[in-house]
Structure 1
Amino acid sequence: MADLLTYSALAVLVVSFGVGIVVGLTGMGGGALMTPALMALGVPATAAVANDLVAASINKSVGASVHWRRGSPDLRLAGLLMIGSVPFAFAGGFLVKSVGEAEVQQEFLTTAIGAALLFTASTYALRMYLQLRHVTAGNELSEEAPRVRAVPTVLVGAVGGLLVGITSVGSGSLIMVALLLIYPTLSAVKLVGTDLVQAVPLVLAAAIGHVLTEGVTWAVLVPLVLGGTPGTFLGARMAAWVKQSVIRRGIVIVLTLTGLKMLGVPPEGVGIIGAALLLLGPLAWGFVRTRHGLPAFDNDSTAWRIPEPTRPDQPVPPQG
């Protein structure tokens, strides 16, 4: 019990609450943010992955329940993703255990997580661009369910499950970007809802695999759950009305710098790249937006177009 009343436990509690809000808002960034944060707080990589996965299986259930009640998930797509993701996610912990002794495992996971963070940041930025392109091409929010493409969807689940099973990173970012590529007319709310629903068994399977091989650390797990659960619930409640473009760009920068640091890039290099992303990133994104006929710095860049009113006197509903 004394282990739960320390400064370190309080730090985990506060950080997990903030990460939970991001997960509930966007369906992305949970493992990608929480696992490196735990490692920065001094938790070994294997313990960080194992405890984050156990906590995420609980926290994502909260976000998924909110989206379920609102009817946003596409259960057909979620089911196909689970078929591919669950067995590969379960195998992740055993794959990490097979690489060697504890020290070798820590080095392997640090490198793997760093690479996964850079990959996640890239897919995150790609998602922003794809949504921007689809919107400016004239797509409107479709009320019809998309035609299911079973094989690609199962393969996406398998790749995402393996990545999560090893590093705890990618359950939101990789799978949501892949869904956007395969089903471009799927609305943003349905993307988040579908991902959160399929991520529950995915993360649970990965957590079981890591618990069987690594175990849990209660002084880490309890603050993760106590902070992350209310944060995820709050974020999910805010998802329908909070503008997410600034949050997304910030996550891309954080993931990129964290990944570079974990891959051994010198602090000076990380600082230079971070400054460049902060100063030049908004300018580059503004240039991309203007090339697609949009204002350079409009936060509503990924809103879907709403059909025009049928009568001249009918007001146009707000875009979201």
Structure 2
Amino acid sequence: MEFGYILAGFVVGFLVGLTGVGGGSLMTPILLLIYHIKPAVAVGTDLLYASITKSVGIFAHGKLGNIDWLIVKRLAMGSIPASMLTLWALHSMDLQSGNVVNTIKFWLGVALIVTSVAVLLRNKLMALVAKEQWIPLAYVPGATILLGIVLGGLVTLTSVGAGALGVTALILLYPKEKITTIVGSDIAHAVPLTLVAGLGHASLGTIDYPLLGTLLIGSVPGIYLGSHMSSRVAEHWVRVALAMILIFVGFKLVFH
């Protein structure tokens, strides 16, 4: 089974490096549906996994000047309190009960479906918003904080949303920013959010540390290889195939 976890880490790392699609939308369903890890443990373990892997990205993007810290601050103003509030709610629940398990699966399914739509429409959306600012500039700061609130609750409950969903929403809010700045800012925000959510899950006892270490063994070379192959592979079609898989898995979880 350990080799299977290493393989899962490698595959997810490779696809993240190749396409930029968030690891949470891939890793949590794999742990849940293939390896039958309990939903809360799959989410908690993946959150710490994400905070570790994305912390590497924050240094890389920071050196390249690809992070707008004002965007990160606005997102965190909403996401960190929302994450802590969600964790407080989880503390008062029996995470093994059928209702809680089904609730996590349902919202994970919803997050996967929304993420897949975001992946499919991102390029078209970028072309549309490049022509005009859809959201009035006066509303952008408040809308960014509101986005942070949504991401904070969703990521803490499902581990999904900090990647493709966050980037797509930021493209809408900040159409004049370069895509590298949007991606870099999203990663910079995802690190503290997944760390806070992950540590909160640690206090709930929903993190499998041996599993976390095993996944990282596979993901590090996977991300490295995927990143170096991204210029040689028609990643658009890989993204489309991934989106189709996420839609299928999402509907399976929602209508379970």
TM-score bracket for the superposition, by shorter chain length = 0.7 to 0.9
Question: Which whole-Å CA distance do the structure 1 matches of 2:62 and 2:141 have between them?
Answer: 22
Relative to the length of structure 2, the TM-score reads 0.86
The one-letter amino acid paired with 2:112 is L
Question: Which whole-Å CA distance do the structure 2 matches of 1:76 and 1:101 have between them?
Answer: 36
Residue equivalent to 1:38? 31
In structure 2, the residue corresponding to 1:102 is in which secondary structure? coil
> Which protein has greater RCO, CA pairs closer than 8 Å, 6+ apart?
2
Task: Give 2:58's match in structure 1, choosing from 58, 61, 64.
Answer: 64
Give the total of aligned pairs.
251
- Percent of aligned pairs with the same amino acid: 34
The C-alpha deviation readout for 1:273-304, integer Å capped at 9, x for no partner, is xxxxxxxxxxxxxxxxxxxxxxxxxxxxxxxx
User: How many angstroms does 1:121 deviate by?
Assistant: 1.5
Pair 237,229 (structure 1): closer, same or farther in 2 beyond 3 Å: same
Residue equivalent to 1:158? 149
User: How many angstroms does 1:234 deviate by?
Assistant: 4.7
In structure 2, the residue corresponding to 1:149 is in which secondary structure? helix
Task: Give 1:208's match in structure 2, choosing from 186, 196, 199.
Answer: 199
User: How many angstroms does 1:71 deviate by?
Assistant: 1.8
User: Considering only CA atoms, is the larger Rg found in Structure 1 or Structure 2?
Assistant: 1
Contact 1:22/1:29 (<8 A) preserved = no
Runs of at least 5 residues in structure 1 that lack an aligned partner in the other structure: 1-7, 139-145, 266-320
The C-alpha deviation readout for 1:207-241, integer Å capped at 9, x for no partner, is 01111113421331111222223433554566678
Task: Give 1:254's match in structure 2, choosing from 237, 241, 245.
Answer: 245
Task: Give 1:125's match in structure 2, choosing from 90, 115, 120.
Answer: 120
In structure 2, the residue corresponding to 1:72 is in which secondary structure? coil
User: How many angstroms does 1:173 deviate by?
Assistant: 1.9
User: How many angstroms does 1:20 deviate by?
Assistant: 2.0
Residue equivalent to 1:290? none
In structure 1, the residue corresponding to 2:162 is in which secondary structure? coil
Contact 1:66/1:233 (<8 A) preserved = no
Contact 1:24/1:63 (<8 A) preserved = no
Residue equivalent to 2:13? 20
In structure 2, the residue corresponding to 1:250 is in which secondary structure? helix
User: How many angstroms does 1:197 deviate by?
Assistant: 1.0
Contact 2:40/2:206 (<8 A) preserved = no
Relative to the length of structure 1, the TM-score reads 0.70
Pair 234,100 (structure 1): closer, same or farther in 2 beyond 3 Å: same
Contact 1:32/1:168 (<8 A) preserved = yes
More helix per residue: 2
